[in-house]
Structures are given as C-alpha cells and as structure tokens.
Amino acid sequence: MTQFLAKNIRKTVLKMAFQGSTVHIGCAFSIIEILAVLYRSHLRYPNDNPNSANRDLLILSKGHGVMAQYACLYEKGWIGKQEVDNYFGDGSLLKGLSDAKVIGCEVTSGSLGHGLSVGIGMALASKLNKLDQFCYAIVGDGEMNEGSIWEGLMFAAHRELDNLIVIVDENGFQAMGATRDVIELGSLCAKFSAFGFEALAIDGHDEAALDHALSSLKANQDGRPKAIVARTIKGKGVSFMEGDNSWHYSRLSSETYNLALTELEGSR
C-alpha cells in the first residue's frame, strides 16, 4: 500500500523544482499533508482507475501548488519517473499549473477563484446523477479574496451540496504579501458558517486531525456543504523556507537544493 509520506512528497517536489528551475515551492509545501491524507485515506478510485465514473473528485483550485499533487500522482504510479525528471522541460506534459490533460488532475486551474466554481458544478452534477461521490476543492487563503469564491459558496449552500468539501490552505500569504495586509479576511471559519457551511478549523499539518475532520464531515450528510480551514505554514518542512514568502517566486540553486534535501532526509 502506498504510504504517501510527507517527507517523500516534499523530496519529489524539491527535485521537480530544481530540475525545472521553477517557482511555487512554498505554496506546494503547505498543502502536502492535506494531499497525503486525501490520497492515502479518502479519495476513492474504483479499481485504481483515475477515469472511473464513480471516482471522487479533487479540484486543486490553487493550481500553482500543483507540484505537490504531481508528487502524489507519482506515488500512485500515474506519473512516471521520466516525467518527474523532465518537469517543466521541453515536451513535458507537466506544467507549472494544474492541467486537466494530466491523468489525475480534474481541472485546468491557476486563474484564482475559478477552480472552486468548477468543483461546485461537478458536485452538483454528482447530486443530479445520484452518484456516490465527494468533491474536494483545495483553495488558498489569498484566493478567498476573489468575489467568484463567495458567489460559488452561496450557490453551493443553496443547492445543499453536502458532497462538497472545501479545504482552505490558510498559510497567511499570497503572492505579494501577507493576506492580512492585502485584504484582512478575519475568521474564515465564521464566514463559511455564515454562508451555510459546516466548517471546522484545524492544524493543516496534523495528519490525524485532517483525517478525523474529513471523516466527520463526510459522515454528516445534512444538506450543508463542508469546509475545513487548515492552518498551515508556507514552505513547511524546510527551515529556511518556512514562513518566508520569498519562496513563492524564488528558484533553487545547487546550494539551496542540497541544503533543503539534506534537511528533509534527516527529518522524521
């Protein structure tokens, strides 16, 4: 059974970022435990088929964090070593944003606020077709600035989409600064509740807490869509990246790559 160990996923992300000389490492690292728990224990793919009509749906609305998802797809064997090694290279299918052409990626995203609305449409389609599916949508806290997010949430509550679980990666930063400085969002958990969601706030790096929250929300099919506000650390796992928003756009040098890799290899 694939373990989806956070340390291994981070090492794969580092490798891709270094090989492709690309960015968005910090925002990939903050969602790794979320994705590890989803892929390990919650996302259902009948017969391990990523195209099964009855599969659960994972929408990475914060599409710039896609290296973390690619690393999970690599763990599942849906992405090969050659694709990881050639990340962002000539002819590579793997780009810097989520792309529906990649097996396991449900949507093309990156235009922030867009992916959640697509996920809500998918959750509605599942309800109308009476399918036993959950739709998980991962959004960033900076992304919550977008008006389309709140329009989508109102629609989800109106249509009683209790098969929708929105997970907010609340790492406190967006591209150009701290979320509190760009637009102060206050309590996202309170806002979700006010919009008709059942909402929980947890530590987004505590895998046991994530697992319990997901299980609890899925078990309560009361007509309310669900939300988890996951408090995370941007750059989690590498000390010199943690809480440093410069790693949203910084690229790895040979020195920083080796320092980060050594630190991860020595972690539990």
Report in angstroms the alpha-carbon separations of 110 from 66, 206, 263. Answer: 9, 26, 30
Cα separation, 118 vs 170, in Å, equals: 21
Token pair for residue 87? 């990340």
pLDDT for 81 equals 96
Cα separation, 40 vs 72, in Å, equals: 10
The CATH number of residue 175's host domain is 3.40.50.970
> Does 69 fall in a domain?
yes
> Does 123 fall in a domain?
yes
Residues of the chain with pLDDT under 50: none
The pairing of beta strand 198-203 with beta strand 57-60: unpaired
Separation of CA 88 from chain center: 20
Number of structural domains (the chain) is: 1
> Does 254 fall in a domain?
yes
Cα separation, 115 vs 119, in Å, equals: 6
pLDDT for 1 equals 57
pLDDT for 2 equals 78
What's the domain range around 37? 6-265
> Does 126 fall in a domain?
yes
> Does 222 fall in a domain?
yes
- Listed in sequence order, the residues at least 6 apart from 236 whose beta carbon sits closer than 8 Å to its beta carbon are 29, 30, 32, 33, 205, 242
Note the pLDDT tens digit of each residue in 59-117: 999 999 999 999 999 999 999 999 999 999 999 999 999 999 999 999 999 899 999 99
Cα separation, 256 vs 259, in Å, equals: 5
**∠ CA 148-250-93 to the nearest 5 degrees?**
65
> Does 1 fall in a domain?
no
